[in-house]
Amino acid sequence: MSGNIAKIYNMRLADDGSAVVILDQSRLPGETVYLTLSGREELFEAIRSLRVRGAPAIGIFAAYAIYILSAQTKKTDYDGFYAEFLDNKAYLDAARPTAVNLRAMLDRMDAVVHRHAGRPVPEILEALKNEALAIHREDIDMCRAIAEHGLTLVKDGDCILTHCNAGPLATSEYGTGLGTFFLARERGITLRAYCDETRPLLQGARLTTYELTRAGIDCTLICDNMAAAVMKEGKIDAVFVGCDRVAGNGDTANKIGTLGVAILAKHYDIPFYVFCPSSTIDFSCKTGDDIVIEQRDPAEIKEKYFTAPMALPEVNCYNPAFDVTDNSLITAIVTERGICRPPYTESLAAMFKKD
């Protein structure tokens, strides 16, 4: 069956431009709650507490957030305005260290201020607003292009394993790792999904199955430790994941557990595809060893989503939010410009690196 599907819109600038309106992903799937945010601390908290999440979505949100904070200035001179801008930029950038889009979009907004150095503050604010809106529009176009390339990697009836969430909630409209599912559905191509729950924050269970089910796409939820079994049983034709950062050599950082899935896929000779927009590629990181991995609250492991703690209070926890998948485990990296294949130091540079 083909045709239009129910779309999820996770973010927009408020009509008067004074706030950003987001779908609170921390409340899904049980509650659909939209938040209108404009305060400095609540904008930071939305990123840190995963009310907005997914590398591209965080980048879009950051652009809106820095514009909103800039518009609250009482400074009338350029130097005073820019000093305040840099303070807000550093504050927002500290919310999450791993996803490169956060820093990249803040840097892009910074470049707008630089280009308007010495101009009246209202003129700079208008330029910042237009840039934030452009970043959002561009992400929609990038996700559509990524989904188009993803369609070349599948055939009707394929079953794909997913990990974490790389759909509209994590981006702007179609998504990266899930975009191909939605585009295929629109065109009458049947794809099925096995979705890892993605412990400890359950993005696969709470968000990916929510998106796919609303779109009428066949999906089956599994515990993370069941991935090997469904691969061994021959149920999986490919693995699709998103990512939060790509190093220059093709190593990729994604939600914790992705590395294990990649190792399993290699063992069972299943293609492992990473989907990302160009904004996620960070040539300043030569390898995955250069990527800073965010460490999160142990309570996410012991308490979150449980009615009672599942471990004693004194039990130590190690809770990295991401792991790094070695480029040798990745079949291809799918971007809006095309599909990069090994060796990634050559293919990524040829497709993206500036002269």
pLDDT in tens, 110-166: 999 999 999 999 999 999 999 999 999 999 999 999 999 999 999 999 999 999 999
* 6: nearest Cα among 117, 164, 116, 168: 168
Decide if pLDDT at 1 tops 90: no
User: What number of residues does the chain have?
Assistant: 355
The domain boundary, picked from 111, 143, 175, lies at 143
Q: Which residues are catalytic?
A: 244
Contact 202, 165 (CB under 8 A): no
Confidence of residue 353 (pLDDT cuts 50, 70, 90): confident
Here the CATH number for the domain that contains residue 99 is: 1.20.120.420
First to last CA, the chain: 45
User: How many domains does the chain contain in total?
Assistant: 2
Q: Specify whether 120 is located in the same domain as 237.
A: no
Boundaries of domain holding 138 = 11-143
Q: Which tens digits make up the pLDDT trace of 172-199? A: 889 999 999 999 999 999 999 999 999 9
Q: What is the pLDDT of residue 355?
A: 43
Q: Specify whether 170 is located in the same domain as 285.
A: yes
Q: Specify whether 76 is located in the same domain as 18.
A: yes
Q: Specify whether 229 is located in the same domain as 285.
A: yes
Cα angle 53, 58, 60 (rounded to 5 degrees) comes to 135
Confidence of residue 274 (pLDDT cuts 50, 70, 90): very high
DSSP annotation of 75? -
Is this model's pTM higher than 0.85 or not?
A: yes
Residue 2 lies in a domain: no
Residue 33 lies in a domain: yes
Q: What is the pLDDT of residue 344?
A: 98
